[in-house]
Each structure stands twice: as C-alpha cells, then as structure tokens.
Amino acid sequence: MFRHSWTMASAGLALAATLALGCARPIDLVNSDAPDSELAALVDSDAARRLLADVLARRSADARLPAASERPRLTDLASSEPQTGGAGESAQLPDQAFLKKLANRTSMDFSALVFARALAAEPRSRAVQAAFDRFLQEGAERSADALRGPGAFPYTLLFAPSWLYKSHPENGSDFANQRRILDTLGVRNRLIESGESDSVEDNAAVIARTIRETGCEGGPLFLVSASKSGAEAAAALSSLTPEEGACVAAWINIAGALRGTPLADSALRVPVKWLARGIFFLSGWSWDALESLETERSRRRLETLRLPETVTVLNIVAVPVSGSVGYQVYPGYQVLGSHGPNDGVVLLADTVWPGGINIVGLGADHLFGRWREDAYILAMLRALDLAIRSHNPRPEPTVTAADAPATESR
C-alpha cells in the first residue's frame, strides 16, 4: 500500500472531491452485527445491501464453527483440492470484464460483493477465511500467546516494501508495525532493501537476490508483498531455480498490482504526463516505477511467470464498497470506476494470483487501514500458519499466469 501522488494527477478534478471528503474512518466488515440501516448507508443499491448482509451472515456462521474442526478440514482439503486452478475454480471466480459488465447492469457495489463471495467459495479459502475471522474475534492477546514461544511460528518473513516506502511510510508501505510485532514475538524477519521508485523488473532482481542470500537456515521463508511489490514478488519467485525456490514456503500477496493499474496508463498520457513528470522530478522519484505499472507491459510480464511448486500463495484482497473507500484513494476509486470494481488503486480481479488461497478484506480499500492494527496482523499470522501446516504441496507443475484463464485464482 503506498501513497499515490500521481493518482491525484491522473484523477484531475476528482482531487477537489477528495479534499472535501476529509479524513475517512477505516472500515472493515468482519461480522453481521450491523443493522440493515447501517449496511444500506455503505452501499449503492438495495441489491448490494441484501448481498452484503448475506456475505456477512455466511462469514459469521463459518467463524462460529468449533475450533477443533479447523485442522482436519484444512488437512482434508489440502489433500483433495487441486493446486493448479482447475475448471471448478475458473467457473466460480469472475474476471474483470465480467465484473465491469455486471456493475453496468446492476451497481458497482453489487459487482464487488459478487467477487468477494466468489473469492471465498473455494473450500480452502473458506476454511482459512473462517479461521482468520475467528482469530480476529479472539483478540490480539490470545493470538500473541498462540504465536509466542520456540517453534510456535518457525518461519522467516521477508518483506518486499511498496512503492515510496521511504518517502511515505505513514501508509504502512514499509511494514513497520508487522515487523515490530514479529520482533516482539521473536520471529525472524527482514525488510528487503528494494528501490522505493525503481521498476518492477529491477526490484524483482533485488528480491530474488535477498531470497538466495537468506537461504533455508532460518526455516521456511514467507515472502510478503503489497501493491506494486506484488508484481515484483511474482517476477522474483519465477526467476528462482527449483533448489532456490524450495526454501520459500509461501507468498503473501496483499492487493498485488499483478496486472498493473489503469491509473498508470492515465498518468503516462499527455497532458497528465507533463504534470506527473513534474511531481516526480520535484520529489526525486524515478519515472521507472510508473512505466513498469503500465497495464499492457504488466500483462505481458505476467504471462511469462511461473512460480516454484513449493510456494503456497495467499491472496489478501481488499474489496471495498462505495461507503468504505478512504479519502486517500477516493480519486483513484472514481477514475477506475469505468473499469469496474476496484480498491482505489488496482482493479479487483487483477490482484489475484490464480489458484491461491484467498482472504477477503471486506470493506477495506487498497491501503488496508485497519489491517495494520495488532489484532489483524496477529490473526493473519495464525491463519497463515494454519494454512501452511495443513497444506502439503505435491510435486506437480504449478499453474502459470499464462496457462490460467483470467477467471482463475492462484
């Protein structure tokens, strides 16, 4: 998640609306306790209100399942569910073209909620989502106790920071709070020293080099990325040899800009390009990062990528509704509306690696405001540990972005 000064340039007159809105309260819908009147205030249609109530009720019911059942459920699913993103998954997960058409026929929020429901329909995703929701309800103290102690969380986490993480760390782009919590728990972690405004390709090389340097001595590696660094992480993992990739147990892809963003396309077109160039020059930022997020270039890059077979992918997807979009990304949300549901920076379907386990940040926008709080971070660590311990990847070819239709999710 990163601060997008160029978003304001590409949004043009939408900046005025952003300034008028002021500071928005971060929203994340994690239970069904809100009355219909409050839900109606968040969404843009009655159909969206009904669907939101249904999605929340299902998540609440799943989270109330007995805790003792979660490991058998995940173990059974890990051994029975294909890891390559089969036809069943592609039938469930809509692509962006479908979401755009649906939004035009119904409403933006209804289309976004259809996508949120589809993300959680795959059995492994539903089980991990339920575990996360339950851990979140249990609170930060209980989650910290569960993660503390020798062998409780035997991994090393490598954080690939987001765009402008040095210039604008206030949006969580440097994972400072996550790393602070891990230090408190005694969990090994490292921030990858990538360039804050370098291209996707250049930073992918830095991430791959860091993975090789870290190796397996400190336990299995988890690579964590967000937004632009999602594209960088995918390219880095795809560049590893099978031996190097064997050290990486999981990739946590948070709102990854895997197919770039149309906001970059807007900023690269004249006359907006002239203004954006000036902003970048005065700020001391490289133009390479923006060019590498252009959608056509990003899609061509994605088609060549293939992950190591050892890597389990956890997609953490922000799915806001119109009443939950924060002021920082609201201009981008409006600009991207012509392309269908989005999180304020990236189109929703473009953030998902095919065949992965999906966790939905319902109500969150691209910056994941509340998800930087301790309770959310600790619940996510527990859910990730549960998924990895219960999932044993088989030596099968991992689906590539080129092999998988846009409607699949890995």
Residue 401 lies in a domain: no
Residue 408 lies in a domain: no
Residue 12 lies in a domain: yes
Taking 70 as the threshold, does the pLDDT of residue 398 lie above it? no
Q: What is the pLDDT of residues 177-231, one digit of tens each?
A: 999 999 999 999 999 999 999 999 999 999 999 999 999 888 899 999 999 999 9
Residue 399 lies in a domain: no
CA distance 383 to 390: 11
**Amino acid (1-letter code) at residue 356:** G
* Structural domain boundaries, residue 120: 5-390
Q: Report the number of distinct structural domains present in the chain.
A: 1
Structure letter (DSSP) for residue 269 = S
Residue 340 lies in a domain: yes
Checking 99-106 for CB contacts under 8 A at 24+ apart, the result is: 99/340, 99/341, 99/348, 99/349, 100/339, 100/340, 101/340, 102/340, 103/340, 103/341, 106/45, 106/47, 106/48
Q: What is the pLDDT of residues 14-55, one digit of tens each?
A: 333 333 333 344 566 765 566 677 788 899 999 999 999 999
CA-to-CA dists, residue 392 to 147, 223, 242, 275, 343, angstroms: 21, 18, 17, 50, 32
Whole-model pTM: value is 0.85
Residue 315 β-bridge partners:
253, 358
**Alpha carbons within 13 A on the beta-carbon side of 28:** 21
DSSP-assigned letters across all residues of 59-114: HHHHHTS-GGGHHHHHHHHHHHS-SS--HHHHHHS--HHHHHHHHHHS-HHHHHHH
Residue 404 lies in a domain: no
Q: What is the pLDDT of residues 249-298, one digit of tens each?
A: 999 999 999 999 999 998 898 888 888 888 888 878 888 989 999 999 99
The SS3 assignment for 347 reads strand
Residue 299 lies in a domain: yes
The CATH number linked to 333 is 3.40.50.1820
CA distance 174 to 284: 19
Q: What is the pLDDT of residues 99-153, one digit of tens each?
A: 999 999 999 999 999 999 999 998 999 999 999 999 999 999 999 999 997 889 9
